[in-house]
Amino acid sequence: MTIHYQDDLVTVYAGDSLEVLPLLPDASVDAVVTDPPYGLGFMGKEWDKGRMLGQMAIGNETRGAYAYGGSHDRGYADHDADGFQVWSQQWAAECLRVLKPGGHLLAFGGTRTWHRLAVAIEDAGFEIRDSI
């Protein structure tokens, strides 16, 4: 875990959320503001292409979770909506664990995937209050 910035009031960590969040103690964060990858294969950038995250159990089903959607060249049809939602639920659940009581999560989402993001955040245990 790398500290990107720190002062008397704030610490900003740099790294994969699924690697950094598990290292933080329960109820230790005041707020989470995130602009996660949208899972759309944005302009062919490596950080927004599909990559296997491993297995996650959902109900009685275990399946692989792809973090990000398909390549830009193949378009939206290549988007892995279910995998994006599973991945979003994974990091959102960790955010809920590290947030102090009354803490808030503000998450930005892409126009074609925000609904999956919202469902994942709700399934992780958050109450959806507002959408801007």
Q: Point out the residues of the chain with pLDDT beneath 50.
A: 51-60, 62-78
Q: What is the pLDDT of residue 130?
A: 83
Sequence-distant (≥ 6) Cβ neighbours of residue 107 within 8 angstroms: 32, 33, 34, 35, 36, 92, 117, 121
Query: Are the beta carbons of 7 and 26 closer than 8 angstroms?
Result: no
Residues 83-98 have pLDDT tens digits of 889 999 999 999 999 9
Q: What is the pLDDT of residue 131?
A: 79
> Could you tell me the pTM of the whole model?
0.75
Q: What is the pLDDT of residue 79?
A: 58
Q: What is the pLDDT of residue 72?
A: 36
